[in-house]
A and B are shown apart, each in its own frame.
Chain A
Amino acid sequence: MHRKNFLQSALLGSGVFLGSMSGLKAMPDGSLQHASSNLKITKIRYYAAPGYNKPLINQSRGIVEIQTDGGIIGIGEGGTVDMIKQCAQMIIGADPFRIEHIWQYLYRGMFYPPGREKLHGLGAIEMALWDIKGKALGVPVYDLLGGATRDYIDCYKGGPDDMDKSTEEKTGRSVMEAGYRVYRIGPTGGSNVEKPFEPGQNVKATIAKCKVVSNAVGKGNWAIDLHTRFDLTDAMTICNEIEHLGPYFVEDPVRSENLAVYKTVRQMTKVPLAVGEQFGDRWDSNELIENHLIDYTRFTLPNTGGISEFKKLASMCETHYVGMIPHGTGPLSVAALVHVLGSSSPARCMYEGSGISKVDYFNGDLLDFRKGKLYLNPSPGLGVNFDSTKATFLIEINENTKYPHPYLKSPDGSIHNW
């Protein structure tokens, strides 16, 4: 059956499909909720990603499987066992189509706003809900997010494994020849924890490295992640020395806890600033965007708490002419980022090429990556198939917590603060 015919025939049958909708129905938590799909979440399973043993929670790549009574299974990525478990035990029986509502319920439920770890798990679960909805409706997730706004996402790269990395010049040229938009380097002094980091020496060495790279690949074709490695004045010395070398962006010149410091940074240098790799929710970055203290955001999936949250941030970025260059996390999150960036409108969007690794528990073509670009994947949902027999099963949740967690509703049925 051709998709075109499907859409044409769907119109004819639509009255019949919707005729069975009941409007309001009782949910397991005792609330009334608006029926959207007549699907229910029945089971949530969580798997460890084999071969991945980094202990970084904000880079975690466990796989969530959300099963519905209709047989549709959605997948998400991120979180930890504890975080996923708490979230999963609040949504058995819920209608998976009510993504934003469920998100609010998980975010505001339990009273204390999630920190970055729980938000990571929440983001993994929300990702799986989008996958379910896309699969149920037979469309890619980007079509549920406004439709495609671009054909592909440009990527940047540090240093591909299969390229000549004997010198910075050769690596940079190899990256550009491979079709990447930008060759990204890091500061000097980062490879050996045994060797003390000497700021003054590394300021000089890093500036020298930038000159070599800029000469090799040209202005605008390179970027540097200072990786929060320097103090304010050292970082400003580097920024001012490399400004004329035309970096695409300079990432994390200083640490990320104190956002107000960027008011100072912004007055001291004109280099394009990228910040946010370490951020969690929307309120970590909104003031940086709204005051245009940065040029590119680096927050990512599932760290923001999910696709909807990322989309909300994209609205702010577009409003304030800020670009989006999400940090690389797990392979499924990269697939999800393509759906979000591919349906959003900030002028400059780019992805960090480092997450484009193939794993055998996902289908080999989960990402349509060609010549340094990630093309939109038109398969339903996130477009990724998960083979659970190749992952390590951890938990399955099939009933809600008995703990009467605190949350309130507004008279109109929406989630309210406790």
Chain B
Amino acid sequence: MQRRNFFQTALMGSGAILGGISGLKANPLKFTQTASSNLKIKKIRYYAAPGYTKPLFNQARGIVEIETDGGIIGIGEGGTKDMVEQCSQMLIGADPFRIEHLWQYLYRGMFYPPGREKLHGLGAIEMALWDIKGKALNVPVYELMGGATREYIDCYATGFKNSTGATEYDRAKDCIAAGFRTYRTGPTGGSGETPFDFYDNVKQTIEHCKKLDAAVGGSGNWAIDLHTRFDTQDGLKICKAIENLEPYFIEDIIRSENPAVYKTIRSLTTVPIAVGEQFGDRWDINEMIESRLIDYSRTTLPNSGGLSELKKIASMCETHYVGMIPHFTGPLSTASLAHVLGSSSPVRCLMELAGGEVERPAYFNDDYILFNKGKIYLNPAPGLGVKFNPKKADLLFEITSNTKFPHPYLKSPDGAIHNW
């Protein structure tokens, strides 16, 4: 059956299809809700990603499987066992189409706003809900987020493995020749055993930037992540020295806890600034965007709490002419980022590929990301477009019933989630 025919017949059948919607019904969460799909969340399973042992929560890549009574299974990535378990035990029986509503329920339920760790798990679950909805409606997720705004997302490489170049400068040239928009380097002095000397590394990093700029020909073909490695004055020394070069961006000039310090930095240098890799929710970054303290947001998935949240951040970025260069996390999150950036309108969007290559974990299908010559193309397969083989991952737990704990939350008279 041709897709085109499908849409044509869908119209004809739609009256009949919708005839089955009941409007309002009681659900196991004990709040009335407007029926969207007649699907219900039945089971939520969580798997460890084999071979991945990094203990970084904000890079976690456990796989969430949400199973519905219709047989459709959605997948998400991120979180930890405890975090995913708490969220899962609030969702059994819920309508998976009500993504924003469920997000609010999980975010405001339990009273205390999630920190970055729970938000990571919440983001993994929300990712799976988008996957379910896309599969159920037989469209890619980007279609549920406004439709494609670009053919592909340019990528930059953090290191470039596919090169035999003797020096980093040679490898950077190969990286640009291979089609990447930008080659990204780091500051000097990064090995743990050698004590970090500010003055020495400021000089060396500046020297390194000059050589790299000359090698790749400026033009935004390189960028540097200062990795929060310097203090304000040292960071600014580097920025001032490389202002006359052409880096695409300078990332994390200083630590990220105090965004207000960027008011000072902004008044002292004109380099393009990228910040947000370490951020969690929307309120970590909104003032930096709104006050135009940065040029690129590095907020990512699932760290922001999910696709909807990143989409909201995209609205703010577009409003304030701020670009989006999300930090890389796990492979499924990378696939999800393509759906969000590919349906959003900030002018400059870039995606990061560590080592300059797409990861190919055995538990996902080989073509889960459409990568060609330094660009990630939009994946038109339904949902997130990724197939998960649970036999190649390690099952951690399965949730089939909700918590008995009467967690605190309130509703508005109109049925919306309210603060406790």
Please give the residue numbers on chain A whose beta carbons come within 8 Å of chain B beta carbons, in ascending order.
1-4, 6-8, 10-11, 13-14, 16-21, 23-24, 32-39, 70-72, 95, 97-102, 104, 133, 135-140, 142-154, 282-283, 286, 290, 308, 311-312, 315-316, 318-319, 342-345, 347-349, 373, 375-376, 378-380, 410-417
Contact = CB atoms under 8 A, between A and B. Distances in A.
B7 interface: yes
A315 B312 contact: yes
Contacts, number: 264
Contact of B415 (A13, A98, A143, A152): A152
A70 B8 CA distance: 5
A137 B35 CA distance: 17
B414 A99 contact: no
Contact of B412 (A71, A150, A316): A150
A152 B38 CA distance: 19
Interface of B: 1-4, 6-8, 10-11, 13-14, 16-21, 23-24, 32-39, 70-72, 95, 97-102, 104, 133, 135-139, 143-144, 146-154, 282-283, 286, 290, 308, 311-312, 315-316, 318-319, 342-345, 347, 349, 375, 377-378, 380-382, 412-419
B418 A7 contact: no
A283 B320 CA distance: 9
8 contacts: A2-B17, A11-B71, A137-B137, A282-B319, A290-B290, A312-B315, A315-B315, A380-B18
A14 B34 contact: no
A412 B151 contact: yes
Contacts of A7: 37-39, 70, 72, 136-137
Kindly list the 5 A-B residue pairs having the minimum CB-CB distance in the complex, ordered from nearest. A151-B415, A413-B151, A146-B100, A100-B146, A315-B312
B7 to A, nearest CB: 4
Nearest to B98: A147
A308 B377 CA distance: 23
B101 A14 contact: no
Contacts of B97: 143, 147-148
A411 B135 CA distance: 30
A144 B377 contact: no
Given A136-B10, A143-B97, A312-B319, A20 B24 contact: no
A417 to B, nearest CB: 8
Contacts of A147: 36, 95, 97-102, 133
A412 B375 contact: yes
Contact of A378 (B21, B139, B418): B21
B98 A413 contact: no
A71 B8 CA distance: 7
